[in-house]
Amino acid sequence: MRIETKCVQSGYSPKNGEARVLPIYQSTTYKYDSSEFMGDLFDLKADGFFYTRLANPTVDAVEKKIADLEGGVAAVMTSSGQAASMYSVLNICHSGDHVVCSSAIYGGTYNLFNKTMREMGIDFTFVSPNSTADELEAAFKTNTRCVFGETLSNPALDVLDIEVFANAAHKHGVPLIVDNTFPTPINCNPFKFGADIVTHSTTKYMDGHACALGGVVIDSGNFDWNNGLFPGLTTPDETYHGITYTEKFGKAAYIVKMRTHLMRDIGAMQGPQNAFLLNLGLETLHLRMARHVENAQKVAEYLESQIATGKVSWVNYPGLKSNKNYELCQKYMPNGSCGVVSFGVAGGREAATKFMDSLKLAAVVTHVADARTCCLHPASTTHRQLTDKQLEDCGVSPDLVRFSVGIENADDIIDDIKQALEKC
Ligand SMILES: *Cc1c(COP(=O)(O)O)cnc(C)c1O
């Protein structure tokens, strides 16, 4: 099946007389005919559901669809994107280990790694997303156990050179994990370029309607864990009756361990109701992403045309030929990147605030990447405690507006921007 068909059809195929639409299994619990069968489930000898903290039929169907969309062997859905990022690393790293990480990542991920996981004893070295092979090489240590990056970063819109990062990781016998939230599997296929594990905040384009928080981790099945660096996967797990994940589950070892170990112990599971809503979003993901890209390109070109009039000071969108990431974007995201455009309103913090207050169609929200056009001015909201100097230091200029272009008519979005810029 091609990706558009997978969006609609993958993951759930009803048998004769069963519901056509994926049912919501709103049940924590499953019933068995014998305790012997239940025992086999607990020993991972039989396949089936035993408790919704570990697996649920609604969630399972959506996991299978997303694994299919990314071209992976298996997936685990989590309660949020944050949980997915944490699980993806924690599944193979513990206290005393080290991670090489691109510095162009979502702020929430940066805090999770640099504060919470550092406090747990995992060390991180942050490197530029445009690092050369030599620069990356210098960041590795003997205890490095994975490399992490974002295919298209939120909010800087930097494109990761996936092949360079994957080659460096593989040279050191460790996997490359990438967060593919912004392009989605419709616009970027990280596994094709050597990434081993993909994560998402499904809260963004995948759900697409801003109604359900969620995350997912997908394994390509391509990484060979049998090199002595990952004893958690290649030696017996005494808490699971001495099962060795790579021996028993082969290519699905990483995902099975995440479910039986991290889900069992931490329990950041996605609920069946959210999985149902996410699945509705996924059915139209291919249509929406194409429209987001088409609209964002028009908006970015309009904004760029306003630099000459003195209303706009700069525009960042990887689909613009003038953009520093244009070539990388053509390589990794040939059908376009996503719907997010960032730009500076001439006149700095004050003008940007005036612009935001004058918008009529575009809503001022904390969210990004859904069907409705929305925007955020970090300097007066999420980053309001920082001075202009501190803002520049963390790569967010005081005039920066993060504009998430929706799937409305592009001319209506541009008209709204036009009237708001006139008031600045
Ligand atoms: C929003 C976001 C996250 C965190 O996801 P939540 O679902 O909000 O927990 C992680 N990565 C990226 C790129 C994001 O945009």
pLDDT in tens, 284-311: 999 999 999 999 999 999 999 999 999 9
- Considering only CA atoms, which residue is closest to atom 4 of ligand 1? 81
C-alpha span between 381 and 300 (Å, rounded): 23
Q: Output the CA 374–ligand 1 centroid distance in Å.
A: 16
Cross-strand bridge partners of residue 148: 101, 177
Cβ-Cβ contacts under 8 Å for 245 (sequence gap 6 or more):
232, 233, 234, 237, 253, 254, 256, 257
Cα–Cα distance, 37 to 53 (Å, whole number): 19
Question: 94 CB contacts (<8 Å, ≥6 apart)?
Answer: 121, 122, 232
pLDDT at 66: 98
Give the burial string for 205-230 (b: 16+ CB within 10 Å, else e): bbbbebebbbbbbbbbbebebeeebb
Nearest CA to ligand 1 atom 12: 106
**102 beta partners:** 127
Ranges of the chain with pLDDT below 70:
393-395
Token duo for residue 350: 């004050």
Please identify which residue in the block is written with the tokens 């944490």: 86
Best of 204, 206, 211 to mutate for ligand 1, by most ligand atoms within 8 A of CB?
A: 204
User: Is the distance from the beta carbon of residue 149 to the nearest atom of ligand 1 less than 6 Å?
Assistant: no
Q: What is the pLDDT of residue 394?
A: 65
Q: pTM here?
A: 0.96
User: If residue 126 lies in a helix (H) or strand (E), which one and from where to where?
Assistant: strand 123-127
Mutation probe of ligand 1 site: the residue of 87, 157, 181, 182 with most atoms within 8 A of C-beta = 181
Asked whether 131 lines ligand 1 (CB < 6 A), one says: no
Closest by alpha carbon to 212, among 31, 80, 39? 80
154 lines ligand 1 (CB under 6 A): yes
Instruction: Let me know: does 86 contact 120? Beta carbons within 8 Å.
Output: no
Closest ligand 1 atom to 181 CA:
13
DSSP, collapsed to helix, strand or coil, labels residue 352 as: helix
Is residue 109 in contact with ligand 1, taking CB distance under 6 Å?
Answer: yes
C-alpha 91/C-alpha 279 separation (Å) is: 26
Q: Which atom of ligand 1 is nearest to the CA of 85?
A: 10
82 Cβ inside 6 Å of ligand 1 = yes
Residue type, position 251, single letter:
K
Please give the distance, rounded to the nearest whole angstrom, from the Cα atom of residue 368 to the centre of ligand 1. 10
336 CA → ligand 1 middle, Å = 20
Pocket flag, ligand 1, residue 150 (CB < 6 Å): yes
Regarding the beta carbon of 215 and ligand 1, being less than 6 Å apart is answered yes
Q: Would you state the pLDDT for residue 385?
A: 78
Closest C-alpha residue for ligand 1 atom 6: 81
Query: Would the CB of 184 count as within 6 Å of ligand 1?
Result: no
Q: Is the CB of 201 under 6 A from ligand 1?
A: yes
What is the Cα–Cα distance from 78 to 390, expressed in whole angstroms? 34
* Cα 62 from chain centre: 16
The verdict on the CB of residue 196 being under 6 Å from ligand 1 is no
Does residue 278 have its Cβ closer than 6 Å to ligand 1?
no
**Spatial distance between the Cα atoms of 284 and 47, rounded to a whole number of angstroms:** 31
Give tens-digit pLDDT for 7-46.
999 999 999 999 999 999 999 999 999 999 888 888 878 8
Inter-residue contact 154 to 110 (CB < 8 Å): no
Q: What is the CB neighbour count within 10 angstroms for residue 251?
A: 16
Q: Are 338 and 292 in contact (CB under 8 A)?
A: yes
Give the per-residue pLDDT at 392.
Answer: 74
Tokens of 90: 């924690």
Cβ of 203 closer than 6 Å to ligand 1, yes or no, is yes
Please give the number of the atom of ligand 1 that sits closest to the Cα of 215. Answer: 7
For ligand 1, say whether the CB of 204 is within 6 Å of any of its atoms: yes
